[in-house]
Structure 1
Amino acid sequence: MELFIKRFENRPVDSNCFLIFNEQNTAVVIDPGTQDHTELYEFIAKENLKVEYCIITHGHFDHVYGIEDIVSRYDPKCVLSNESLAYIGNIKKNLSVFYGKQFSYQLQNYIAVCEDGYTINWDGHDLEFYHTKGHTDSCISCKINNDVFVGDLMIKGEKTVTKLPSGNKGMAEKSINTMLNLAGIEIIYGGHGEPMTKMEAKKFFFNEN
């Protein structure tokens, strides 16, 4: 069954929100970083989609700011790390206070990813989750078929930011290596900017051809 991927730009911070949907009209939202994201909601309504899952790659404000809206509108199961749960509920950890916001939210309907390789079957497609710490200790990545959604672990043309609280350069390098060596990976979708191929990522992050 074919999957469709549509990228939306989050605001006020320019980051990526992804909507993945299938021919059965069920959908997954990744990193809803915009409150009242009209463009996203209108597209979901136009395509008559049922949002079943919401994936949070990490707990920073620019990737979670719209989660309360998503939950109130669609009541999906949210998938994230235990660390991200704590970030979402803390204005300093999620960095919203540094953007002049006071965003915090307590999730109720969630699945905490506790082990690498944790898998959810979504209408015949496996959502595989991995802890990919480095940008923060809250980071997870999700592999779907030949694609992997990595949040801010890998951004096309940019070195991974590890200077924010709980960032770790060595762990980031280890996590990147793990993701690029997953079987079948072809396209990497980062938390900002355009997607990149596995070859592009290997060349940029490890100088491999």
Structure 2
Amino acid sequence: MNLAIRMMVLGPVQTNCYFLINEDTKEVLIVDPADRAQKIIEWINSEGLKPVAILLTHGHFDHIMGVQGVKKEYDIPIYASKDEVEVLAEPQINVSTMMGAYLSMKADELFSDGDVLELAGMKLKVISTPGHTIGSVCFYMEEEKVLISGDTLFEASVGRSDFPTGSSRQLIESIKTRLFVLPDDTDVFPGHGGTTTIAYEKAHNPFIY
């Protein structure tokens, strides 16, 4: 399987929406459709891609504002952690109320830590990384050495932990015990900002102690 990763920066806080593309079949997984569903749809159609599923790293408003529009257009399932159900459902918890919105949604498929999602010819291992939210996860593609880290790990930074269900202690523990054990040459694609590697973060991230 030949993998291509494309990105759009969307929404009020510059969130990274990723497109994981199987170049052999033109199937695509959409990770965190953050906003502007119509823009996402137009790009997918212009590239001749075939959407298979929506994957969510967590349920904060800035990662889910485009979900319903994309789902409606393509009639594809939403995948999220079983521990993130309440965050997705409750506007106060997914902090959409902060933006004057009241987002509430339900995933079609719930996964657990360690599950391997086999979609569009890809294998993505679910790594539970609570701390940013209770059900935050990362998606790890072992063969491709790719980690989609959501808002857990950023380039030389980490996700905030002061929103509902967050915990700074859990966040740091998740990074140290769940992510820093991955191969050093794993490429990290975070929910905001630029890409990085596990090796770089182990050496230079000032928030990991």
Q: Do they superpose with TM above 0.5?
A: yes
Q: Deviations over 1:122-161 (max 9, x none)?
A: 3442111111101110201101231011111011132331
Partner residue, 1:122? 119
Number of positions where the alignment pairs a residue of Structure 1 with one of Structure 2:
204
Q: Is the 8 A contact 1:142 1:150 kept in 2?
A: yes
Partner residue, 1:150? 149
Q: Is the 8 A contact 1:152 1:191 kept in 2?
A: yes
**1:53 and 1:139 mapped to 2: Cα distance?**
18
Amino acid paired to 1:180: F
Partner residue, 1:173? 172
Q: Is the 8 A contact 1:148 1:185 kept in 2?
A: no
Amino acid paired to 1:46: S
Structure 2: give runs of 5+ residues left out of the alignment: none
Structure 1: give runs of 5+ residues left out of the alignment: none
Q: Is the 8 A contact 2:129 2:171 kept in 1?
A: yes
The share of aligned pairs that are identical, in percent, is: 25
Amino acid paired to 1:156: E
User: What TM-score do you get using the length of structure 1 for normalisation?
Assistant: 0.89
1:82 partnered with 2:82: yes
Q: Secondary structure at the match of 2:154?
A: coil
Q: Is the 8 A contact 1:19 1:28 kept in 2?
A: yes
Q: How does 1:48-197 map to 2 (within 5 A)?
A: 48-107=48-107, 110-114=108-112, 116-144=113-141, 145-177=144-176, 178-183=178-183, 186-197=186-197
Query: How big is the shift at 1:206?
Result: 6.6
Are residues 83 and 35 of structure 1, via their aligned partners in 2, closer, same or farther at CA, if it must alter by over 3 Å?
Answer: farther
**1:181 and 1:154 mapped to 2: Cα distance?**
14
Query: How big is the shift at 1:61?
Result: 0.1
Are residues 195 and 123 of structure 1, via their aligned partners in 2, closer, same or farther at CA, if it must alter by over 3 Å?
Answer: same
User: What TM-score do you get using the length of structure 2 for normalisation?
Assistant: 0.89
Q: Is the 8 A contact 1:15 1:62 kept in 2?
A: yes
